[in-house]
Amino acid sequence: MFQISIDTGGTFTDGVLLHEDGTISTAKVPTTPDEPTRGVMDCVKLLASSENGLTTNEMLARTQSFTLGTTVGTNAVLQLKGAKVGMITTKGYRDVLEMRRVVKPDLFNMKLPKPVILVPRYLRFVVDERMRYNGEVITPLNEAEARQVIARIKARGVEVIAVCFLHSYINPAHERRMAEIIKEEYPGVGIVLSSTISPRPMEFERFNTTVLAAYISPLCSAFLRDLDIQLKKAGFGGALLAMTSNAGVTTAEVAEARPILMVSSGPSAGVLFASVLAKQAGVNNIISTDMGGTSFDVSVLPEGRILTTTEGMIGDQRNACETIDVVSIGAGGGSIAWLDQRGVLYVGPESAGAYPGPACYGKEGRKPTVTDADVILGYIPADYFLGGKIKLEADLARQAIEENIGKPMGKDVIEAAYAIKSMVDFVMAEEVFMACTSRGYDPRDFVICCGGGAGPAHIFDIARRLHIKEVYIPKAASVFCAYGMVSADFKHETSRFVRYEARNADINELGRIYREMEKEQIALLKREGVPREAIRIRRGGEVQYYGQAFAIDAWMSEKSIDAAVTRQDLEELIEDFHTRHGERYGYVDRSLLTELAGVKLVATGLKHKPGIPVQSASGEDTRAALKRQRPVYFQEAGGFAPTPCYDGDKLRHGNIISGPAIVEEKMTTVVIPPGVKIFIDRFGNYRGSLA
């Protein structure tokens, strides 16, 4: 039986076919943004035919699970192509979305445009209802007024209604009743409740996240339904799963009901893969990077631990749902190089995408990109892109860079190409530096892990700029996120708002809340087919020093299902908070009172995962893998130098390559500059040491 995972939404759609013996087959095809299912099915066909000699039906009939990761929802938000959403809120709170947190991202920029509001004011409505902060009803829901509001919403052709009432995180009764009325008055319309999506205080964060969920709901749901239909037509009878933004998977049915879970699902899989690589390589601290065609994603994993956040941003939109802590910028292989009015060079954030693509693709792209620069400098072989399936046009790349960058800057085409390469490397290095230092870490204490098809051509320059001494490049770097999905277990997180002085918390009340959450999540995992013996429960909370505005996630040690909550567990939670506070802010004060501002629970359903094949050592000699020699530009060598190129499929455990050198993989190119030494480990991955 096979397992298939697909990552789509960027420039390329990546696919991984996992065999029972742990070996993998990979595929990469251009994404089809206007019809995402077509790109996914193209990738499936390529996995079947070119890698395994099977028909699509034969392969899918033998496939146990199909996991999808996508940025379709994220792209819809960034491109403002989501649903028409109406919002119903408590009287007096109509403009929370516009007031936001008041503070501007750039305080000194008087011309900064206002953030986009996904629900314009004419589609925001209020009803008379009110709860106290403790859940006590002050004003009952005015049902007659609610029905009048729904009639007005219906007349405006709203596709999804977001219900965001004050203090519904502590008492959701009014929101649930509002949902019942909506179903009676406007059957078929989508409904999203803030008490379900983000049961937290902080009105703006909760309201905006609810609206965000409503905005992407029809698009993501339609994508999942269409994919399910197409897969079944092609003979698939296994489980269709969706990667979630917390590095877990869930069934398509759950994801369709809560599509906000799929926001940033692709990048979260890449971070999960980095954590797996860190464990198998014996690396303590690792930085996960992923440079694809459109973006550059960074996540910091201290002690291999995946960090999460409830302060994520998608463009202008705050997402308060629990997501993997990933920072993304517009720096990828397809990022466009351009000059401002002063003649200063910039790279990104605009991307040429899959179509028209970089100039060297030979389509309609005429703007210079990072990929064009890499082709001119010899980093990407024009005759072996995607294993030779696409022949790149170096002359078109040269023309685009010369006309748009070289001549205006007074540089020849090689100097201009290297300037583009240096600029994008600087931007990415700066992003890695900020991702580390803003979280209290020194990048020099980390190994940097490189994913993405474009990443291995740039990673060593990034590492040098940051004085990082070791680089880890997985063999599957080009399908970084798709491969990460193979390692994902079923995973669900839930939280409840509480407010206690931590050490004096009511243990019995806490135990009751945790038992309720456990019961809900275990029932959900069982519906997904997870047996009870494969379920793991982890309890935690949101803890802060008294008076702080924001809390930090802290955790108890893993316990068996239904285990009682004890004072010792609470002390463990508080101590974990102190540790994490010290890591993040650089100080700890155990004399201060601590507050428990919320309880959390993570329920994991373990999936069967085949072991990763291990190679036997074959010595340092790489002559059997030597493919050819060609000129490649290295500034350290004074320009173009004859450079040995190796066939990545012929390198074996124990092989050592000293730079300058190139490793040509089917879907990526590893550029090894002078002064760098590469060692092939027992998993076939590349471990690079910098002098």
Q: Taking Cα atoms as reference points, which of 206, 138, 217 lies closest to residue 169?
A: 206
Question: Is residue 664 scored above 70 in pLDDT?
Answer: yes
Specify whether 169 is located in the same domain as 253. Answer: no
Specify whether 87 is located in the same domain as 188. Answer: yes
Residue 435: both structure tokens together: 């991702």
Specify whether 514 is located in the same domain as 579. Answer: yes
Q: What is the pLDDT of residue 39?
A: 92
Specify whether 89 is located in the same domain as 206. Answer: yes
Q: Output the DSSP codes for 448-490.
A: EEEESSSGGGTHHHHHHHHT--EEEE-TTGGGHHHHHHHTPPE
Is 472 within a domain? no
pLDDT above 90 covers a percentage of the chain that reads: 62
Mean pLDDT of the chain: 91
Is 452 within a domain? no
Range scoring the smallest mean pLDDT among 165-174, 182-191, 349-358, 563-572? 349-358
Buried b (16+ CB within 10 A) or exposed e, 6-43: bbbbbbbbbbbbbeeeeebbbbbbbbbbeebbebbbbb
Residue 343 falls in which region: left (phi positive, over 0), alpha (psi -120 to 50) or beta:
left
Specify whether 16 is located in the same domain as 89. Answer: no
Specify whether 347 is located in the same domain as 234. Answer: no
Question: Is residue 51 scored above 70 in pLDDT?
Answer: no
Range scoring the smallest mean pLDDT among 343-347, 387-391, 674-678? 387-391
Question: Is residue 647 scored above 70 in pLDDT?
Answer: yes
Question: Is residue 105 scored above 80 in pLDDT?
Answer: no
Is 9 within a domain? yes
Is 103 within a domain? yes
pLDDT tier for residue 312 given thresholds of 50, 70 and 90:
confident
Specify whether 400 is located in the same domain as 499. Answer: no
Specify whether 69 is located in the same domain as 85. Answer: no
**CATH code of the domain covering residue 161:** 3.40.50
Domain count of the chain?
5
List pLDDT tens digits, range 450-493: 999 899 999 999 999 999 999 999 998 989 899 999 889 999 98
Q: What is the pLDDT of residue 31?
A: 87
Higher pLDDT, 349 or 672: 672
Phi/psi of residue 95, nearest 5 degrees? -105, 15
The CA distance from 424 to 359, in Å, is 18
Question: Is residue 529 scored above 90 in pLDDT?
Answer: no
Q: What residues does 124 pair with on adjacent strands? A: 87
Q: What is the mean pLDDT of residues 228-251?
A: 92
Q: What angle do CA 181, 187, 193 make, to 5 degrees?
A: 55
Which structural domain, as residue segments, surrounds residue 408? Answer: 335-423
Residue 538 falls in which region: left (phi positive, over 0), alpha (psi -120 to 50) or beta:
beta
Specify whether 179 is located in the same domain as 96. Answer: yes
pLDDT tier for residue 674 given thresholds of 50, 70 and 90:
very high
Question: Is residue 284 scored above 70 in pLDDT?
Answer: yes
pLDDT tier for residue 259 given thresholds of 50, 70 and 90:
confident
Is 467 within a domain? no
pLDDT tier for residue 612 given thresholds of 50, 70 and 90:
confident
Specify whether 115 is located in the same domain as 176. Answer: yes
Q: What is the pLDDT of residue 538?
A: 92
Buried b (16+ CB within 10 A) or exposed e, 227-266: bbeebeebebebbbbbbbbbbbbbbbebbbebbbbbbbbb
The 10 Å Cβ neighbour count of residue 317 is 21
List pLDDT tens digits, range 111-143: 878 888 999 999 999 999 999 988 899 999 999
**CATH code of the domain covering residue 543:** 3.30.1490
For residue 490, the Cα-to-chain-centroid distance in whole angstroms is 17
Query: Given 572, 605, 638, which residue is the final one in a domain?
Result: 605
486: Cβ contacts below 8 Å, ≥ 6 apart: 3, 5, 16, 18, 24, 67, 609
Question: Is residue 412 scored above 80 in pLDDT?
Answer: yes
Residue 308: both structure tokens together: 């999460």
For the chain, the residue count is 691
The CA distance from 10 to 291, in Å, is 11
Query: Given 384, 408, 423, which residue is the final one in a domain?
Result: 423
Specify whether 125 is located in the same domain as 191. Answer: yes
Is 203 within a domain? yes
Specify whether 40 is located in the same domain as 141. Answer: no
Is 458 within a domain? no
Cα torsion 360, 392, 55, 18 to 10°: value is -90
pTM to 2 decimal places: 0.88
Q: What is the pLDDT of residue 424?
A: 95
Phi/psi of residue 626, nearest 5 degrees? -65, 125
Q: Which amino acid appears at position 691 of this protein? A: A
Is 440 within a domain? no
pLDDT above 70 covers a percentage of the chain that reads: 99
Q: What is the CA radius of gyration of the chain?
A: 26
Q: What is the pLDDT of residue 561?
A: 82
Q: What is the mean pLDDT of residues 404-423?
A: 95
pLDDT tier for residue 103 given thresholds of 50, 70 and 90:
low
